[in-house]
Amino acid sequence: MAFFVLIKYFYTMNAKRYQQIKFEYLNQFWGYSEFRDQQEGIIDSIVEGKDTLALLPTGAGKSLCFQLPALFLEGTCLVISPLLALMRDQVLQLKSLGIEAEYLSSELEDLEMELILSRCKEGITKLLFVSPERLMNPLFLRHMEEIEVSFLAVDEAHCISEWGQDFRPSYQHIKRFREEFLPVPCLALTATATPQVLEEIKTKLALRNPRSFQRSFRRDNIQIAIEKLSDKYQRLHELLRSHQDSGLVYVRTRKEAENLSEFLRLRGHDRVDYYHAGLPGMEKRRRQSQWLKSSNQVLISTNAFGMGIDKTNVRLVVHFTIPNSIENYYQEIGRAGRDSLPSLALLLWSEEETTEFNRILKNQMPTKEQYERIITMLYSIFQVAEGELAEKSFMLDIEKIKRLSRCSGAKVRNVIQFLHHQELIYFNDYKSPSTLELFISPEEIEQFPGTQASALETLYRNLPGLSKQRTHFSEAALAGKLGIGLESLKRTLQTLGKSEHAHYIDGSLPSVKFLKPRDSRAITFRYYPLFEQIQKNKVQKWEEINYFINESTTCKMALILRYFGEASQLECQNCYVCKKNNESLHGSAIHSDLLEALSQGPSTLEQLSVRMSLYPKNELLETLIQLLDEEKVKMKDFRTYARA
């Protein structure tokens, strides 16, 4: 009896100590004094060794749910993540907090990977981020046998579902990995999942009697407005003149981000900048950091920006182009008003845009014959034979594949991105440091002609370590040091590459590395059905977002809740549909709102449109004409209205 009392005493003491340490870590590393909503319950569940499923919308702090228990528990937390950019950002963020974290990716050298895995074996690294494809790598599995893993965290767990456009077949490996190699507790996290997808996650991850945590998708502090108009540029210009808070503007392409930023800057919006995946790593981090610290900067971005970013005072999220899915839309508007204060989510669209995107969607989907032709050309131009694996990276000329395959650039990129997601290739479309590897020793330089010998001697002298391994370097810095033009240096390096005395990769251009031997049969019979399913999912998601935009009688928040399987009879009373419905029930709110706005001073239609952003501009004009007839409003000049 005394023995059981003693056990209970030690358990109680450990539980008290755990509660104390939990809050100490929360404050020490993240600067918070209390947890949000479901966070504490999720963390406790993992510490108790339970399989756990967490559905927390954007802004609810999902990352903390695996980062904090990783510090508390012995060993390394293995985090499965689908995106290299997300892994890299989270590791940088954790290191800035003083937390030992690393990631593995195909871009790393063998020596770098060995060092990272050694630190895990020694128990130094608390979080190791990997892609799901790595779970099938025999070398990685051998290393895992020597690493003490505290628990498994599966981020973006909805990627396991075949019903989403983010479907990653490699997520199917996790179940086998857990059962055969790593029988530890599993935490599955997602921000956007329908009931059907949640059940799929439980089954396909083999979660054993999981504890489920789910926060409501309802965000009543966000005003949802959808506006159909032709001149979106002018509308955004007017909107930013009146909204002086921090904001995000989402566009579809990198070029749109740059062009829209330039348009707004030319009109005096100095607080506007742009962000996309094509920027160099240091520049992306600089712009991200600047926006996070600012109280009024507006960042125009592709969907490359936002994941893992926690900024509480975003007051405005504008979708300048229609998002790809309701999941993406909800995740992006969820970056507004994380402090629960009123914020605006505005989506601008036009009939021309939907027609154009239908065309783009069709243009990027190759037939089976085109799919096979693109992949054949990709292997052929680098002379990779059936069953062979090329050991080095290559500069990728997409225009050449486009020309040889007789397919559009959009189709070529679509197929290449698919191969990248399956880890058949590593496709680097980011600006990164260039690399150079020389296949001759310093002693052999004198055998070369004068110009080449001089170039080789200069490279060895200015790039330490070049004689031993592949070296990362900046052409601009090297050209400046040598006092020659950048293009002249690149031509010299390309000449050395063509002579096979060197292997040069220009970091400003796309590159590709083959990760598995060429297997034409697998590409056709195993991978093409997956590719086809993902294309069908894209079409379905596009149809769903189209319905969401065009449906004009149902509360927008209620539509979102219904989509994610959350039953609710309550309308938000905040979106433009609710405002319009209330007008018909309780009289015209637009009349009283207009008169209230004009009581603050004379205004033009454009100024009123910005201040009353939930009302379409044409409705404001019609109401102004009606109020003029009723002599409640007067014209001060040809453009300015005032209270009568």
**Tens-place pLDDT, residues 283-297:** 887 898 899 889 899
pLDDT at 451 (0 to 100): 66
Does 2 have pLDDT greater than 70?
Answer: no
Q: What's the Cα-to-Cα distance from 538 to each of 307, 364, 562, rounded to whole Å?
A: 20, 11, 20
- Dihedral sign for Cα 370, 375, 381, 383, please: negative
What span, in angstroms and rounded, lies between the C-alpha atoms of 641 and 453? 77
Strand partners, 248: 299, 317
Q: What's the Cα-to-Cα distance from 362 to each of 164, 367, 530, 542, rounded to whole Å?
A: 18, 10, 18, 12
CA 205 to chain centre: 23
Does 6 have pLDDT greater than 70?
Answer: no
Which positions ≥6 away from 546 have C-beta within 8 Å? 322, 354
- Dihedral sign for Cα 321, 326, 327, 333, please: positive
The residue with greater pLDDT, 187 or 506, is 187
Name which of 61-75, 108-122, 472-486 the model is least confident about. 472-486
Q: What is the pLDDT averaged over residues 99-110?
A: 84
The DSSP secondary-structure symbol of 93 reads: H
Per-residue confidence at 248, pLDDT binned at 50, 70, 90? very high
Look-up: residue for tokens 């031509």? Answer: 491
Look-up: residue for tokens 């009939």? Answer: 351
Tokens of 349: 């669209």
Q: In what order do the strands lie in the sheet with 502-505?
A: 471-473, 434-438, 502-505
pLDDT at 1 (0 to 100): 37
pLDDT at 407 (0 to 100): 93
What span, in angstroms and rounded, lies between the C-alpha atoms of 587 and 585? 6
For residue 12, give the amino acid letter: T
> Residues 440-464: pLDDT tens digits?
777 777 777 666 677 777 777 777 7
Does 309 have pLDDT greater than 90?
Answer: no
Other Cβ atoms less than 10 A from the Cβ of 21: the count is 14
CB neighbour class for 498 (10 Å; exposed up to 12, middle 13-18, buried from 19): exposed
Helix, strand, coil fractions of the chain, as percent rounded to 5: 50, 15, 35
Does 12 have pLDDT greater than 60?
Answer: no
What DSSP assignment string belongs to 394-430?
EE--HHHHHHHHT--HHHHHHHHHHHHHTTSEEEE-S
Per-residue confidence at 89, pLDDT binned at 50, 70, 90? confident
Pairing of strands 511-514, 425-428: antiparallel
Q: What is the pLDDT averaged over residues 292-319?
A: 85
Question: Is residue 308 classed as helix, strand or coil in its secondary structure?
Answer: coil
Comparing CA positions, the residue from 185, 176, 194 lying closest to residue 152 is 185
Per-residue confidence at 7, pLDDT binned at 50, 70, 90? very low
pLDDT at 201 (0 to 100): 92
* Opening angle at CA 236, ends 233 and 242, nearest 5: 145
Helix axes 475-482, 486-498, angle to 10 degrees: 110
Pairing of strands 343-349, 314-319: parallel
What span, in angstroms and rounded, lies between the C-alpha atoms of 250 and 330? 13
What span, in angstroms and rounded, lies between the C-alpha atoms of 417 and 398? 12
CB neighbour class for 195 (10 Å; exposed up to 12, middle 13-18, buried from 19): exposed
Comparing CA positions, the residue from 471, 94, 429 lying closest to residue 280 is 429
Per-residue confidence at 557, pLDDT binned at 50, 70, 90? very high
Buried b (16+ CB within 10 A) or exposed e, 145-174: eebebbbbbbbbbbbbbeebbbbbbbbebb
Tokens of 243: 């909204």
CA 177 to chain centre: 26
Comparing CA positions, the residue from 563, 624, 631, 543 lying closest to residue 590 is 624
Does 142 have pLDDT greater than 80?
Answer: yes
What DSSP assignment string belongs to 257-274?
HHHHHHHHHHTT-TTEEE
pLDDT at 266 (0 to 100): 93
pLDDT at 45 (0 to 100): 94
Helices and strands per DSSP (H, E), number in the chain: 26, 22
Tokens of 456: 């080789």
* Opening angle at CA 503, ends 499 and 508, nearest 5: 120
Does 472 have pLDDT greater than 60?
Answer: yes
> Residues 339-367: pLDDT tens digits?
889 999 999 999 888 888 888 888 889 99
The H or E element spanning position 291 is helix 281-293
Backbone angles phi, psi at 445, to 5 degrees: -60, -40
What span, in angstroms and rounded, lies between the C-alpha atoms of 602 and 615? 18
Averaged pLDDT of the chain: 85
What span, in angstroms and rounded, lies between the C-alpha atoms of 583 and 533? 44
Does 334 have pLDDT greater than 80?
Answer: yes
Other Cβ atoms less than 10 A from the Cβ of 309: the count is 16
What span, in angstroms and rounded, lies between the C-alpha atoms of 530 and 371? 12
Tokens of 447: 């055998």
If phi > 0 it is left, if psi is from -120 to 50 it is alpha, else beta; for residue 575 that is beta
What span, in angstroms and rounded, lies between the C-alpha atoms of 341 and 222? 8
Q: What is the pLDDT averaged over residues 93-106?
A: 90
Strands (E) located in 245-325: 246-250, 272-275, 298-301, 314-319
pLDDT at 84 (0 to 100): 77
Strands (E) located in 517-620: 603-604
Cβ(120)–Cβ(147) below 8 Å: yes
Does 4 have pLDDT greater than 50?
Answer: no
Comparing CA positions, the residue from 266, 312, 274, 269 lying closest to residue 293 is 312
